[in-house]
């Protein structure tokens, strides 16, 4: 498998209204995330609210695949990574770094990285490392991004020309095995597991969200570790890299199913399942239609990928089937898709929703209380995971 193919896979559910062009993907370096287009699952009424949701998930590294040539659904090494690019370092106030990093992506940056060595310091300024296509107007992008987050002046920045192969090497070197808890690791494909006796989930995340480092992924993995005793049926509604579905099987689940709206995410999850010696009979994957979105035949933008081939109508139709259901997505799709998500759980089954910040918990709890009982909330670094048991009787209110 070529380096480009192994590095550039895809993701899933996270939205942002300001990115209206081709699908925007985020990859590599510690916390991995992507920004799909706005038609995923539901409309997002507030760009400001959506940006607030993205803060932690967008602050490390991003790759915008809409700027890279694609062949048969993958970025080719020769076309994409032999070209030069602009490396831009931006000095900005610390309190806006997360949102500025995200806004840069919306206004033309190909990647953004908040310098990790600076994030633990207490100064008022921090550096954002970013990349741009060689023909991008860097000043205009920075100016518009700065204005969108309320900065009155353009931040200081430095521009250099680099080669993509340097960036790939740096990205891989910065992605290390993540210890979720004692005896449980998420390990990138190109690294050796630190503990061979542990449960090691091997991933080539590429552009798929779910490396184990983000708090919401950790919360969901820790929940699965507690819930799965053996023989369960598990549904990951928003599978991304497949990390949760793979983990459930390693914990002892009898079957994992992963839904996603992105064809490239299904491909990524299949690849990661193979890395963990998990066959298609144990991990079933399928596209699901996005709410108010286009039909499958129009959803896949890449030559050589057939969305219909990734769609399994049988498993989509099987409701009231799963012992554990997790949806680690974002606020608005969680609210819009609540009934659909709940419908897949058996009566009395555990349902968990995550991908939300702590201040959004009351809204989600209020909405899901009509479907769930015994609701509990766990938090990590201002992110939350809400769990409850599916009511055995439908709500009459």
Whether 13 has a pLDDT exceeding 80, the answer reads no
Better pLDDT: 133 or 173: 133
| Tens digit of each residue's pLDDT (9 = 90 or more) over 223-248 | 999 999 999 999 999 998 999 999 99
Q: Which of 71-80, 158-167, 302-311 has the lowest mean pLDDT?
A: 71-80
Do the beta carbons of residue 203 and residue 224 sit within 8 Å? no
Highest mean pLDDT among 48-62, 73-87, 248-262: 248-262
pLDDT, mean of residues 281-310: 65
| Nearest CA among 249, 258, 243, 233 for reference residue 350 | 233
3-state SS, residue 366: helix
pLDDT, mean of residues 293-320: 66
Per-residue pLDDT band for 262 (boundaries 50, 70, 90) equals: confident
Per-residue pLDDT band for 205 (boundaries 50, 70, 90) equals: low
Q: What are phi and psi of 280, to 5 degrees?
A: -65, -15
pLDDT, mean of residues 123-135: 89
| Nearest CA among 134, 180, 177, 179 for reference residue 159 | 134
Say what the pLDDT of residue 264 is: 80
Do the beta carbons of residue 334 and residue 326 sit within 8 Å? no
Better pLDDT: 276 or 45: 276
Q: Which of 42-46, 117-121, 366-370 has the lowest mean pLDDT?
A: 42-46
Per-residue pLDDT band for 319 (boundaries 50, 70, 90) equals: very high
Whether 343 has a pLDDT exceeding 50, the answer reads yes
Per-residue pLDDT band for 57 (boundaries 50, 70, 90) equals: very low
Look up residue 311 and give its two tokens.
């769609």
């Amino acid at each position: 498998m070529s380096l480009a193919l192994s590095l550039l896979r895809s993701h899933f559910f996270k939205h942002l209204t300001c990115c209206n062009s081709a699908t925007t993907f985020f990859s590599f370096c510690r916390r991995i995330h992507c920004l799909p287009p706005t038609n995923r699952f539901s409309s997002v009424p507030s760009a400001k609210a959506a940006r607030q949701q993205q803060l932690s998930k967008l602050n490390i590294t991003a790759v915008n695949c809409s700027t890279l040539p694609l062949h048969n659904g993958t970025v080719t090494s020769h076309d994409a990574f032999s070209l030069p690019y602009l490396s831009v370092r931006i000095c900005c106030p610390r309190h806006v770094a997360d949102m500025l990093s995200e806004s840069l992506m919306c206004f033309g940056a190909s990647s953004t990285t908040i310098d990790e060595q600076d994030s633990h310091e207490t100064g008022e300024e921090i550096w954002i490392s970013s990349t741009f296509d060689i023909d991008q107007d860097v000043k205009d992008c920075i100016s518009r991004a700065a204005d969108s987050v309320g900065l009155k002046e353009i931040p200081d920045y430095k521009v250099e020309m680099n080669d993509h192969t340097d960036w790939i090497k740096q990205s891989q070197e910065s992605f290390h095995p993540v210890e979720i808890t004692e005896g449980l690791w998420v390990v990138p494909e190109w690294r050796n597991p630190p503990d061979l006796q542990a449960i090691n989930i091997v991933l080539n995340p590429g552009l798929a969200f779910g490396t184990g480092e983000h708090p919401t992924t950790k919360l969901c993995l820790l929940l699965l570790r507690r819930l799965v005793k053996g023989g369960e049926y598990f549904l990951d509604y928003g599978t991304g890299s497949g990390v949760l579905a793979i983990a459930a099987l390693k914990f002892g689940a009898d079957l994992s199913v992963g839904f996603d709206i992105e064809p490239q995410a299904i491909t990524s999850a299949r690849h990661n399942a193979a890395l963990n010696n998990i066959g298609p009979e144990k991990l079933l994957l399928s596209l699901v239609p996005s709410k108010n979105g286009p039909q499958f035949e129009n959803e896949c933008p890449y030559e050589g990928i057939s969305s219909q081939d990734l769609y399994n109508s049988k498993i989509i139709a099987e409701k009231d089937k799963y012992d554990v259901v997790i949806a680690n997505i974002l606020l608005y799709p969680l609210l819009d898709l609540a009934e659909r998500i709940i419908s897949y759980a058996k009566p009395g089954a555990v349902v968990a929703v995550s991908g939300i910040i702590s201040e959004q918990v009351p809204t989600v709890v209020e909405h899901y209380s009509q479907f769930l009982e015994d609701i509990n909330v766990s938090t990590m670094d201002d992110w939350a995971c809400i769990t409850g048991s599916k009511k055995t009787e439908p709500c009459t209110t």
